[in-house]
Amino acid sequence: MNVRRLGVLLLLACAPSFAADPTTTPENTLVAALEREDVTACLDWIDASEDRAVESLISLASIVSPSGQEHERARWLAERMRAIGLEDVSIDATPNVVGRIKGRSGRALVFITTLDDLGTIAELQRAGGPKPRREGDRVVGPATEVQSVNAAMLVAAEALVRSGVTPEHDIVIASVAQEETGLIGMQALFDVWQDRAVGWVDVLGDGEEIVYGAESIHWWKIVAHGSGGHTEQDDLPNVNQAIARAVDQILALPRPGRHEHTYINVGIIQSGEVYNHKPVSGWFSLDLRSMQGDVLRDIEHDVKAVLERVEAETGVRFEMEPTVTMDGGQVPGARESRLVRISIEVSRHLGYEPTVSARGCCNMSVSVARGRLAIGLHGVRGGGRATSEEWASIPAIVRTAKHVALLAAAY
């Protein structure tokens, strides 16, 4: 699925500014929120909800949900959102799950989590290994680390509803689908809420790191075309040989000092079906990421040179098909925005001095790439991702829920 090309935001003179409000400091805003009985009750409810968070996470992680096949998990999540009192709960075609807590302004602060898992996690689940279970202050099992933020979001939302918190803006709780296969759910969510959103918060942890910019992401599908035939037909070019040479040379491309925080990955290789046949075609994926969009274009020039060289050597023809072309950057004024500054104060209240940087990624890239204020809450959630011993930290779930609830109440 092709995604329209998005411009580099640093060069957009018309981009909106999010300078700090000089009349209300983030420190005072948070202090005022913490003095409210409803907010105090909300935090107390989160502290008392550890078992509920664990139960939610075990349920979520028990549902096989690779990217593009999230429907069962979406239905479970929608049912839980309705049960805790969120309004207008819906599942769209992607399938994103969205619920809302009504505010006063008619605008919306949109919190985002990810619904899908890596394919390797689904394979572990289908293999019939150990089920998600609690072990001390951890929940252990495939899918637990990433889905821990969905559990945290549910706890935060239920705490806000039960405590009667009426936020300034609508609080939109969204778990988006197909993040791993092209940010498809986030693109659909943005299209619906872009005109009402005052900001976007990508929840990936408890806010020990807060990010406000986004890296550029270019995804390619590189298709190889040859001539199919039997193993014994030595005069025919071998598509697999050409793919192997191309992948090896692309992954070996040099990245000098100016390529800091630049990544090249080949995550998928597909071709052939039987032992004794040379495939007619095959393809591999190419994932390029950098904080500098011009660096990616330089790498793409080098990739094309590699493909031309391998074509000449093997007789196999290559085509580069763009899948995602999303140029990141920073929205002017984002670092000094109230959203970033209040989030910093929330982290400090929770007991840590956050790292603040422009190195964001993932779902928030969609918002930033279109000139809209977005932040990402990062932090250590657990470990062992995509293994049978994957685990999530229960204290981290509680901290994440508190960060979401305080940001919702104070912003």
Please give the model's pTM, rounded to 2 decimal places. Answer: 0.83
In tens, the pLDDT along 314-373 reads 999 999 999 888 887 888 899 999 999 999 999 999 999 999 998 888 899 899 988 999
Write down the H helix ranges in 163-227. Answer: 184-193
In tens, the pLDDT along 116-170 reads 999 999 999 999 878 999 999 999 999 999 999 999 999 999 999 999 999 999 9
In tens, the pLDDT along 36-70 reads 999 999 999 999 999 999 999 999 999 999 999 99
Q: Picking from 57-61, 164-168, 175-179, 258-262, which range would have the lowest pLDDT averaged per residue?
A: 258-262
The percentage of the chain sitting over the pLDDT mark of 90, rounded to a whole number, equals 77
Contact 338, 302 (CB under 8 A): no
Contact 73, 65 (CB under 8 A): yes
- Other residues' Cβ atoms within 10 Å of the Cβ of residue 130: 11
Q: Per-residue pLDDT averaged across 171-196, rounded?
A: 95
pLDDT of residue 21: 47
Burial of 107 (0-12, 13-18, 19+ CB in 10 A): middle
Torsion, CA 163, CA 202, CA 145, CA 177, rounded to 10: 100
Residue 237 preceded by cis peptide, ω within 30? no
pLDDT of residue 4: 36
Write down the H helix ranges in 84-218. Answer: 119-126, 144-162, 184-193
Report the mean per-residue pLDDT for the chain: 91
The percentage of the chain sitting over the pLDDT mark of 70, rounded to a whole number, equals 93
Find residue 378's DSSP bridge partners.
Answer: 209
